[in-house]
Structure 1
Amino acid sequence: GVISGVVGSLKEINKDTIRLLSLFDKEIKPIIKKDAKILDLGFGPLARFSIEFAKRGYRVTGIDISKTILKCAKKYIDKANVKVRLLKGDITEIDKIREKFDLVFCYATFYHIPPHLTGISLIKINNILNKDGRLFVEFGTITKKSLKDYIRTPFYLGGHYIKRLFGKGFHVNVSRFTSREIEEMVEKAGFEIEKKIGKSIFLLTKKNNKKAFCELLKINRR
């Protein structure tokens, strides 16, 4: 991915985009309003999902922490001739938006949040969702590695290390959780797992906002 300074090929990115949009059309489109308000958290330099959501008629807001990414994404959005509102912001401070959404889409982003901030981030996402709103999120999961992983990892880390030596890369956090840890985080944040898609993608439904609010109060009092 772009975030680690080791950029995936356009072919891989396009393949991944098609796969995710297929999942979206199958799992999400039938259960949200035609003009639903969608928040794309960490939309990335291509704004690939924000653009596709806007093409489907949804009201889209995108948030990313990098000014450079915002500038790059705007070019692609203008080229696609769609309407997407872009905001610069941190996922841990999204409650400052003062707006409610029907769906929060968070793909290839959430697992870069340090473990000690994941719980509060989920709670804040809960608080900006409308009643019965949903969160489509990819978690970093602890799973048994395949042969492909063992072959690919040294090349990935080696390339990233070389980039950093020349000042073109930077440290990236990758948080991974067990299934039980994910279930506990989700419950404490006032969500319910509606569906698990594959090994790491979850569709969460907002259920207990009171519980999430109480957890947020506890954290703010520390």
Structure 2
Amino acid sequence: MEEKIHTYDDILTMLDSYLREPEPFWDEFFSDREKSIPIFVNAPDENLVSYVERGTVSPGKVLEFGCGPGRNAIYLAERGFEVDAVDVSKTSLEWAKERADGRNLTINFLHQNIFDCDLNIGKYDFIYDSGCFHHIAPHRRISYINLIERTLKHEGHFGITCFYKGGELGGSDISDWEVYKKGSLMGGLGYTEERLRRVFHSLKPIEIRKMIDKKDTENQFGVSDLLTGLFQKDHM
């Protein structure tokens, strides 16, 4: 690749090369299925379950960012949602497809970076992200928000689960400028309720709270060191 900057996209690509975890990193992360990693459980996020059970989010067309082994995509597909699930790791998608096939579910798994996806304008009723956003570097946040606003239908919902600032699972307490000074996201950026409101200020906040702890026997994933949010795209 020619290392010259002519456009804004060239700047993004250059910064990505310094801060984005490469695809082999995530393939290695998901390669050992026996590792004691909280998100390896085959259970949906408790907040996601609450959105569906309350009827706040109804069956429709769904896009999931960073689906990993597919636990949330599977939950949604079982409840009548039509799911497109994206992940940069081929290894995680193979695992997710095995899980989906084991339940005779049809899910459209996409092996891509979310910023490279060719997605239609206003296509989705619901967009969900559990664990992708806190690995997005500051220079890509605008692209991330634009992607949501472009692909989400009017009055559609956006849900997110991310690291809480200073939480035990992760959530580095550093400024955006420090990310570039250190040359690292320090394992993933931490957020607060106030900061989520600021970042997604173009969307209407419905609920922002810490995740509720859940026991293994409850068949839901819940860890109170994570922050959850549900937003809606206002009708224009």
**Counterpart position of 1:88:** 111
Structure 2 residues not aligned, in runs of 5+: 1-24, 171-184, 211-225
3-state SS in 2 of match to 1:119: helix
State the distance in 1 between where 2:120 and 2:90 align. Answer: 21
Determine which of 147, 163, 182 is the counterpart of 2:196. Answer: 182
* Residue identity in the other structure for 2:50: K
Aligned residue for 2:175? none
Secondary structure of the corresponding residue to residue 97 of structure 1: coil
Letter in 1 for 2:109: L
1:101 counterpart = 2:124: yes
Report if aligned partners of 1:113, 1:173 keep a CA contact under 8 Å in 2.
no
Q: In the alignment, does 2:232 pair up with 1:200? A: no
- Please tell me the residue identity of whatever aligns with 2:62: I
Is the CA contact 1:191–1:208 (under 8 Å) kept in the aligned structure 2? no
Amino acid at match of 2:231: L
Partner residue of 1:17? 43
What's the counterpart of residue 57 of structure 2?
32
Question: How far is 1:208 from its partner?
Answer: 7.4
Equivalent residue in structure 2 for 1:49, among 72, 79, 82: 72
Q: How many Å separate the matches in 1 of 2:162 and 2:196? A: 8
Aligned-residue Cα RMSD (Å) equals 3.0
Which residue of structure 1 aligns with residue 6 of structure 2?
A: none
How many residue pairs end up in the alignment? 177
Q: Work out whether residues 92 and 117 of structure 1, in 8 Å CA contact, stay in contact via their aligned partners in 2.
A: no
Residue 195 of structure 1 and its aligned partner are, at CA, apart by: 0.6
Following TM superposition, by how much is the alpha carbon of 1:72 offset from its aligned partner in structure 2, in angstroms? 2.6
Tell me the residue number matched to 1:70. Answer: 93
CA distance in 1, matches of 2:186, 2:120: 29
| DSSP 3-state at the match of 1:17 | coil
The SS at the match of 1:200 is strand
Matches within 5 A, 1:144-163: 149=168
Residue 191 (structure 1) aligned to one of 176, 185, 203: 203
Q: After TM superposition, give the deviation of residue 173 of structure 1 in Å.
A: 4.4
Scaled by the length of structure 2, the TM-score of the pair is 0.64
SS at match of 1:68: helix
Structure 1 gaps, min length 5: 154-170, 210-222
Q: Residue type matched to 1:207 in 2?
A: D
Q: 1:123 to 1:80 in 2, by over 3 A?
A: same
Which residue in 1 is equivalent to 2:4?
none
Q: Which amino acid aligns with 1:195?
A: E
Kindly tell me: are residues 185 and 208 of structure 1, through their superposed partners in 2, closer, same or farther at Cα, counting changes over 3 Å?
Answer: farther
Distance 1:121 1:195, change over 3 A: same
Deviation at 1:177, TM superposition (A): 3.4
Deviation at 1:27, TM superposition (A): 2.4
Cα pair 1:101 1:133 within 8 Å, conserved? yes
CA deviations on 1:121-144 (whole Å, 9 max, x unpaired) are 02211210111111111233324x
Residues 183 and 38 of structure 1: is their aligned pair in 2 closer, same or farther, counting only changes over 3 Å? same
